C-alpha cells in the first residue's frame, strides 16, 4: 500500500483532539486503533489491532476519523482559494471566475460581450434525497461545527487563552459526536429529508450565493476589467435552485399529493421568512432621514399609498414608526406585505416585491446614496431573484408505467372497450386515442369519482393547479416522466392533466402551463431520444403550450433530462458517456429544427459510475449545444453535504457551476471541434465496451455473484433514505436502482461501474485502426490536440480504477457460495481490470500512483486505513447472512454493526453510490 507522506494541515490537530477525548472517556484501547498515528502522534506509532469485542466502537472511531480528514482537506482547499484571491500573481484553480475571464479576454471578447455572456448564464442545482446520505442530520450539524472550530483555530487573532477555549469547544463537540449514533436506527422519513433540504435552501444557500457573487466581483477586478462595470457583472448571472424532495414519486410510495402540498407550503413559508429577515436587516442599515429631499418626499407618498392598500390597523401603526425615516417606513411596509398567506393588498408574487425595491432604489439614488444601493440593496434584490417566494422550484417526477396504469383505469371506468389493456396497446393506437381525447375538454372521470389507480396522479395535479391559482406558478417546476419510451408517454401527462384543473382551455385550444420533461435513462432510450423528441415537439398541443410559456420575444424552451445513473448501469461507463454525448448533440439539432431552445437537465449521481467528476471538466466536456448558457443538474445524497455544508466550499462550487457555463459560452465553437476520426474511434470503443459489459451482466451467474460479492443485501436493509432500493421490489438488475448498484460495488472495492469495459474498447480500436488509436492518445494529452470529452472520460475512469483494489475484490468474491459462478464471473472482472490497467498505464506513461500524485495524495491515507474495515465487514457479512437463514433475531442484532461498517467504508472512500 502506498504510504501517505503528508496529510492535510489540520489533521494532526483534529486527530490528537479526538485521541484526547477518547482517552478522557476511558476509551484508550479504541484511541490506540486510530489511523495515521505516525503523522500526528509519533513518527514510529502505528494503529493497534482492534480489541476483542469492541468492533462497533472501532468502526465508529474510524468513520469519525475519515470525516476529520475530510474537514482538514476541505479547509486547506478553501484557504488556498483565499490566498489566490489575495495574491495577484497566484495561480487560480481551473474552473474559477478568474480563469474564465482570462480565457474570455484571450478569445478577444470585449467587455460588452462578456457582460452579455454573463447575463445568459443560468445555473440551477437541484437537490434530491436519493438514499446515499449515510449520516444522520444531527451528525451532519456536529461536523459543521467541527469545521468551524478548525477554521477559528487557524486565525491568528486569538490569544492563547482564547485558542484554548475554542479547542475546549471542539473537543466537547467531538465528545458529543462520539456519544451520538452515526447511523439511522430507524429508516428516515420524508419529513426528515425535507427538513434537511430546507436547511440547505433556507440557511446555507442564501449566504453561499452572496459569497459566490462576491467571488465574481473579486475575479473581475483581478482580471483588470473595468471597475465601473464590476457591479453590473457581479449580478448578471442567474442562480436558482430546484428540489425533488416531496415531489419525486418514481417508485416512492411515501410521496403523496398531501406530501407535495405540504412541501410547496413549507418552501414558500421558508422563502418568505428568509426575505423578511433580510428586509429587517436592510431596515437596520438604511436609517436615512428625509429632511429637505424631494426624493424622500416622493418615497413618503409611496408609503402612504402602500399603507392605504394594506388592510387593518397594522399599516397605520407602521407609518407612525420611524417617522422622518422614509426608507425604514417603506421597508416596514414591504415586510407587512410579505405575510403568508398573502394579506389584502400584500404581495402575491416576488415580482411585486422587486418593483417596490425599484422604488426604494430610485429614492436612494436620488439623494446620491449609490454606495448604499450597491452594497446593501442590490444584494437583497439578487437574493429575491434567486429564491423568490418559493425558495426552490419543486419538480414532480413519476414513472411512465404509473401514467399508463392511471389512463388504463380511467378508460375502463369510462367504459372504453379494452381500456384496461391500454399499457399493452401499440403506439399508433395509443396516439390515436390521445389525439382524439385531447381535442375535447371532457374529462374521463367525474369529479371525486376517479378510480383508485388514477387517484394518486390526479390528486397531485390538483394540488399543483390549486397552488398555481393561489400563488402563481413561480414555485412549480417540471412534470418529469422517467423511463420515457415514446412521445405517447409525454402526451399521457396532458391527458391526465385534463382530468384536473391543471390543463387550461384558452382561445385557440388547450395549454399546459407546466413543462412536461422526458427523462432518457437507458442506452436504448438515449439512442431513440432524438426521434421521440422530434415527434413530441411536432404535436400541436405541445407547440401551443411551449409558446404560451415563453416570455415575450423569446424562443420557447423545452427541458430534456438525461440520466447518467441508469445508462451507466445499463451499458457501462464508456457506453453511457458516449451515448449521452451523441444524444445531446442530436437532441439539440432537433430543437433547432423546431425553433426550440433545449435546456438540458443532467441527472448526475455522486459516484463516477453515475456521472460524477470535477464540475469544470464535466462542463468543458459537454457538446457545445447542450450548454448554451443554461445548466440544470442534480445534487444527490452525500454530495450535498460534501459540496455545500460550509459557506466557503458552497460558494466555490456555485462559482464552478456559473464560471463553467460562462466559459462554455465563450468557447462553444473552437474548443469543441474534433476530427471525424475521433468520433469513429469513440464509436468503436463504445461498441466493444458495451458488448463486454453486457457479457458480464448477462452472464448466468452474475446476479448471484453481485448478491454475495457485494453488501448489496445489507445496503437494502439500511436506514439511509426513505426511498426503497428497488422500484417495484423485483429481484432483478433492471429493477434495482442505480444508487445501491454503485454503492455496493464501491463498498467491496470493485468500483466496477467506474471503469469496466474501457480496456476491451481500447484494445479493439488498437487492433482495428492503430493510427486512430494513436490519435486518441494524443487527444487525451494537454495541448492543441486535446479533446476535453476524452480527457474527462479517461481521467474519471483512472480515478475510479485507482480506488479499486484487486486484493479486496478477491476477498469479497470468496463470499459467493457457487464456485462455478464465482470463478467464471470473477475471471471476467479480473481480466478486464488487468486489461484496463495496462491501457491506462500506457495513456499516462507509467504507474497511476506516480503519474497522478494529487489524486494519490487524496486516496493514499484513505486506502491505507480501509484495510481493517474491509476485513471486518467481510466477516460480518458471513455471520449476518448465516444468521438470516437460521436465526433472524441474531441477524437483527448484527445489523447495526454491519451498517456501521458500511458507513465507515463510505466515509473512507468519500462516496456511497
Q: How far apart, in whole angstroms, are the C-alpha atoms of residue 325 and residue 776?
A: 69
Q: Please tell me the predicted confidence (pLDDT) of residue 708.
A: 97
At 419, list the grid cell.
381500456
Alpha-carbon distance values, 85 to 82, 97, 732 (Å): 5, 11, 52
pLDDT higher for 287 or 542?
A: 542
Among 199, 221, 231, 550, smallest CA distance to 381 is for 231
Question: In angstroms, rounded to a whole number, what is the distance separating the alpha carbons of residues 384 and 380?
Answer: 6
Q: What is the DSSP string of 725-777?
A: SBSS--SSTTTB-HHHHHHHHHHTT--GGGTTTHHHHHHHHHHH-HHHHHHHH
**828 has pLDDT over 80:** yes
Annotation marks residue 768 as catalytic = no
| Cell numbers placing 586 | 442530436
Cα-based angle 829, 835, 838 (whole degrees, multiple of 5): 140
Reading phi first (left if > 0) and then psi (alpha if -120 to 50, else beta), residue 36 is in left
Residue 782 binned pLDDT confidence (cut-offs 50, 70, 90) = low
Q: Residue 159 burial (CB < 10 Å; 0-12/13-18/19+)?
A: exposed
What pLDDT does residue 343 have?
Answer: 77
pLDDT tens, 551-606? 888 899 999 999 998 899 999 999 999 999 999 999 999 999 999 999 999 999 88
Question: Residue 725: its pLDDT value, please?
Answer: 47
pLDDT in tens, 673-711: 567 888 899 999 999 999 999 999 999 999 999 999 999
Confidence of residue 785 (pLDDT cuts 50, 70, 90): low
- The whole-number average pLDDT for the span 373-383 is 95
What pLDDT, on the 0 to 100 scale, is given for residue 132? 45
Q: How confident is the model at residue 607 (pLDDT cuts 50, 70, 90)?
A: confident
Q: Are 129 and 721 in contact (CB under 8 A)?
A: yes
Q: For residue 341, is pLDDT > 80? A: no
pLDDT band at 625, cuts 50/70/90? confident
pLDDT for the residue 686: 97
The mean of the pLDDT values for the chain is 90
CA 133 to chain centre: 12
How far is it, in rounded angstroms, from Cα 567 to Cα 610? 8
Whole-number Å distance between alpha carbons of 688 and 773: 14
- With cut-offs at 50, 70 and 90, classify the pLDDT of residue 672: low
Query: Which residues lie closer than 8 Å to 558 by C-beta, 6 or more apart?
Result: 515, 533, 537, 546, 591, 596, 597, 598, 599
> What's the pLDDT score for residue 553?
82
The catalytically annotated residue of 39, 62, 71, 130 is 130
Cα-atom radius of gyration of the chain, to the nearest Å?
Answer: 29
Residues across the chain: 913
pLDDT digits (tens, 9 = 90+) for 15-41: 999 999 999 999 999 999 999 998 888
Kindly list the distances between the CA atom of residue 72 and the CA atoms of 76, 200, 425, 831, in Å, as whole numbers in the listed order: 6, 22, 58, 38
Strands, DSSP E only, in 569-718?
Answer: 597-603, 630-636
Confidence band for 539, pLDDT divided at 50, 70 and 90: very high
DSSP 35: S
Phi, psi of 44 (to 5 degrees): -100, 0
pLDDT of residue 44: 78
- CA 883 from chain centre, in angstroms, equals 38
- The per-residue DSSP string of 337-357 comes to TT-SSPPTTS-SSHHHHHHHH
At residue 728, the pLDDT reads: 53
> How large is the average pLDDT for residues 239-262?
92
Q: Tell me which long-range contacts 305-314 makes (C-beta under 8 A, separation of at least 24).
A: 306/330, 306/333, 306/337, 306/345, 306/356, 307/333, 309/344, 309/345, 310/336, 310/337, 310/343, 310/344, 310/345, 310/346, 311/343, 311/344, 311/345, 312/343
How far is Cα of residue 585 from the mean position of the Cα atoms in its chain?
23
Q: Which residue has the higher pLDDT, 674 or 614?
A: 614
CA 67 to CA 865: how far, in whole Å? Answer: 13
Give the per-residue pLDDT at 288: 87
- The mean pLDDT of 167-171, rounded to a whole number, is 96
Sign of dihedral through CA atoms 698, 701, 704, 707? negative
> Which alpha helices (H) appear in 286-325, and where do they start and end?
294-309, 313-320
In angstroms, the CA 745 to CA 749 distance is 6
Half-sphere exposure of 801 (CA within 13 A, CB side): 28
Rounded-to-integer distance, Cα 577 and Cα 686, Å: 9
Confidence class for position 337, pLDDT limits 50, 70, 90: very high
How far the first Cα of the chain sits from its last, in Å, is: 24
Find where cell 483534529 sits: 14
CA distance 528 to 520: 9
Rounded to an integer, the average pLDDT of 873-884 is 96
User: Does position 4 have pLDDT exceeding 50, yes or no?
Assistant: no
130 is catalytic: yes
Catalytic member of 569, 643, 652, 688: 569
Pairing verdict, β 509-511 and 504-506: antiparallel
Q: What is the mean pLDDT of residues 502-519?
A: 94
- pLDDT given for residue 601 in this prediction: 97
- Measured CA to CA, the distance from residue 381 to residue 339 in angstroms comes to 18
Q: Are 622 and 668 in contact (CB under 8 A)?
A: no
Q: What is the pLDDT of residue 323?
A: 83
Per-residue pLDDT at 5: 54
Q: What band does 781 get if pLDDT is binned at 50, 70 and 90?
A: confident
pLDDT tens-digit map of 40-81: 888 778 899 999 999 999 999 999 999 999 999 999 888 887
86 pLDDT band, cuts 50/70/90, is low
Looking at residue 593, its pLDDT comes to 97
Instruction: Find the mean pLDDT for residues 733-741.
Output: 73
Backbone angles phi and psi of 553, in degrees to 5? 85, 0
pLDDT for the residue 2: 37
Our CA angle for 95, 520, 423, nearest 5°, is 165
Determine the average pLDDT of the residues in 784-793: 83
Amino acid at each position: 500500500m502506498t504510504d501517505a507522506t503528508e496529510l492535510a494541515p489540520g489533521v494532526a490537530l483534529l486527530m490528537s483532539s479526538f485521541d484526547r477525548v477518547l482517552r478522557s472517556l476511558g476509551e484508550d484501547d479504541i484511541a490506540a486503533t486510530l489511523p495515521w498515528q505516525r503523522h500526528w502522534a509519533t513518527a514510529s506509532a502505528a494503529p493497534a489491532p482492534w480489541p476483542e469485542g469492541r468492533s462497533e466502537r472501532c468502526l465508529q472511531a474510524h468513520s469519525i476519523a475519515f470525516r476529520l480528514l475530510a474537514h482538514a482537506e476541505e479547509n486547506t482547499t478553501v484557504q488556498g482559494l483565499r490566498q489566490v484571491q489575495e495574491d495577484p500573481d497566484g495561480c487560480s484553480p481551473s474552473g474559477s471566475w478568474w480563469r474564465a475571464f482570462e480565457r474570455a479576454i484571450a478569445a478577444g471578447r470585449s467587455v460588452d460581450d462578456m457582460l452579455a455572456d454573463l447575463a445568459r448564464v443560468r445555473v440551477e442545482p437541484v437537490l434530491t434525497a436519493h438514499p446515499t446520505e449515510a449520516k444522520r442530520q444531527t451528525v451532519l450539524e456536529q461536523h459543521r461545527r467541527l469545521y468551524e472550530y478548525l477554521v477559528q483555530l487557524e486565525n491568528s487573532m486569538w490569544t492563547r487563552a482564547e485558542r484554548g477555549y475554542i479547542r475546549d469547544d471542539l473537543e466537547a463537540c467531538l465528545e458529543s459526536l462520539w456519544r451520538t449514533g452515526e447511523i439511522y436506527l430507524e429508516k428516515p422519513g420524508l419529513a426528515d429529508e425535507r427538513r434537511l433540504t430546507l436547511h440547505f435552501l433556507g440557511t446555507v444557500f442564501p449566504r453561499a450565493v452572496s459569497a459566490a457573487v462576491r467571488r465574481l466581483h473579486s475575479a473581475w477586478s483581478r482580471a483588470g476589467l473595468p471597475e465601473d462595470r464590476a457591479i453590473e457583472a457581479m449580478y448578471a448571472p442567474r442562480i436558482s435552485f430546484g428540489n425533488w424532495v416531496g415531489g419525486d414519486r418514481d417508485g416512492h410510495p411515501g410521496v403523496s399529493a398531501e406530501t407535495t402540498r405540504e412541501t410547496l407550503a413549507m418552501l414558500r413559508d421558508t422563502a418568505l421568512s428568509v426575505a423578511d429577515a433580510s428586509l429587517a436587516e436592510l431596515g437596520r442599515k438604511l436609517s436615512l432621514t428625509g429632511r429637505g429631499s424631494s426624493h424622500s418626499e416622493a418615497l413618503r407618498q409611496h408609503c402612504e399609498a402602500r399603507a392605504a392598500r394594506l388592510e387593518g390597523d397594522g399599516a397605520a401603526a407602521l407609518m407612525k414608526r420611524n417617522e422622518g425615516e422614509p426608507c425604514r417606513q417603506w421597508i416596514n411596509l414591504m415586510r407587512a406585505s410579505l405575510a403568508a398567506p398573502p394579506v389584502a393588498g400584500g404581495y402575491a408574487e416576488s415580482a411585486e416585491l422587486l418593483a417596490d425595491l425599484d422604488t426604494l432604489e430610485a429614492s436612494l439614488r436620488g439623494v446620491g446614496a449609490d454606495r448604499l444601493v450597491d452594497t446593501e440593496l442590490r444584494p437583497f434584490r439578487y437574493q429575491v431573484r434567486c429564491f423568490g417566494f418559493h425558495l426552490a422550484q419543486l419538480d414532480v417526477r413519476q414513472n411512465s408505467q404509473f401514467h399508463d396504469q392511471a389512463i388504463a383505469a380511467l378508460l375502463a371506468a369510462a367504459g372504453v372497450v379494452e381500456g384496461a389493456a391500454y399499457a399493452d396497446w401499440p403506439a399508433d393506437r395509443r396516439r390515436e386515442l390521445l389525439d382524439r381525447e385531447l381535442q375535447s375538454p371532457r374529462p374521463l372521470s367525474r369529479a371525486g369519482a376517479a378510480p383508485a389507480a388514477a387517484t394518486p396522479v390526479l390528486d397531485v395535479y390538483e394540488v399543483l393547479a390549486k397552488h398555481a391559482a393561489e400563488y402563481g406558478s413561480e414555485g412549480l417546476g417540471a412534470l418529469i416522466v422517467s423511463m420515457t419510451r415514446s412521445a405517447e408517454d409525454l402526451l399521457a401527462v396532458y391527458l391526465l392533466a385534463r382530468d384536473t384543473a391543471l390543463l387550461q382551455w384558452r382561445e385557440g385550444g388547450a395549454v399546459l402551463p407546466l413543462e412536461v420533461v422526458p427523462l432518457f435513462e437507458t442506452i436504448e432510450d438515449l439512442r431513440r431520444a432524438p426521434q421521440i423528441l422530434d415527434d413530441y415537439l411536432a404535436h400541436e398541443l405541445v407547440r401551443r403550450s411551449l409558446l404560451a410559456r415563453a416570455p415575450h420575444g423569446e424562443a420557447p424552451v423545452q427541458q430534456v433530462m438525461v440520466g447518467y445513473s441508469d445508462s451507466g448501469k445499463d451499458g457501462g461507463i464508456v457506453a453511457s458517456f458516449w451515448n449521452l454525448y451523441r444524444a445531446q448533440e442530436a437532441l439539440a439539432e432537433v430543437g433547432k429544427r423546431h425553433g426550440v431552445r433545449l435546456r438540458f437537465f443532467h441527472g448526475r449521481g455522486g459516484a463516477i459510475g453515475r456521472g460524477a467528476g470535477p464540475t469544470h471538466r464535466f462542463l468543458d466536456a459537454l457538446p457545445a449545444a447542450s450548454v448554451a448558457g443554461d445548466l440544470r443538474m442534480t445534487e444527490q445524497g452525500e454530495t450535498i453535504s460534501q459540496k455545500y455544508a460550509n459557506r466557503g466550499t458552497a460558494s466555490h462550487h456555485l462559482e464552478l457551476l456559473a464560471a463553467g457555463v460562462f466559459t462554455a459560452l465563450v468557447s462553444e465553437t473552437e474548443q469543441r471541434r474534433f476530427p471525424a476520426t475521433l468520433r469513429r474511434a469513440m464509436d468503436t470503443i463504445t461498441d466493444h465496451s458495451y458488448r463486454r459489459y453486457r457479457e458480464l451482466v448477462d452472464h448466468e451467474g452474475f446476479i448471484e455473484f453481485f448478491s454475495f460479492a457485494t453488501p448489496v443485501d445489507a445496503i437494502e436493509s439500511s436506514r439511509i433514505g426513505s426511498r426503497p432500493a428497488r422500484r417495484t421490489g423485483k429481484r432483478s438488475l433492471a429493477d434495482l436502482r442505480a444508487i445501491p448498484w454503485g454503492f455496493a460495488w464501491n463498498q467491496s472495492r470493485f468500483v466496477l461501474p467506474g471503469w469496466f469495459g474501457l480496456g476491451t474498447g481500447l484494445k479493439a480500436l488498437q487492433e482495428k485502426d492503430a493510427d486512430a488509436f494513436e490519435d486518441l492518445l494524443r487527444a487525451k494529452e494537454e495541448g492543441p490536440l486535446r479533446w476535453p470529452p476524452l480527457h474527462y472520460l479517461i481521467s474519471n475512469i483512472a480515478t475510479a480504477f485507482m480506488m479499486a483494489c484487486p486484493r479486496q475484490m478477491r476477498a469479497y468474491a470468496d463470499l459467493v457460495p457457487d464456485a462455478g459462478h464465482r470463478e467464471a464471473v470473477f475471471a471476467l472482472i479480473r481480466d478486464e481490470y488487468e486489461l484496463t490497467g495496462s491501457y491506462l498505464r500506457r495513456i499516462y506513461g507509467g504507474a497511476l500512483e506516480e503519474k497522478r500524485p494529487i489524486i494519490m495524495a487524496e486516496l493514499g491515507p484513505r486506502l491505507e486505513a480501509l484495510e481493517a474495515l474491509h476485513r471486518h465487514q467481510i466477516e460480518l457479512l458471513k455471520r449476518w447472512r448465516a444468521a438470516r437463514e437460521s436465526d433472524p433475531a441474531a441477524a437483527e442484532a448484527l445489523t447495526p454493526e454491519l451498517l456501521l461498517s458500511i458507513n465507515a467504508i463510505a466515509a473512507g472512500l468519500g462516496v456511497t453510490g
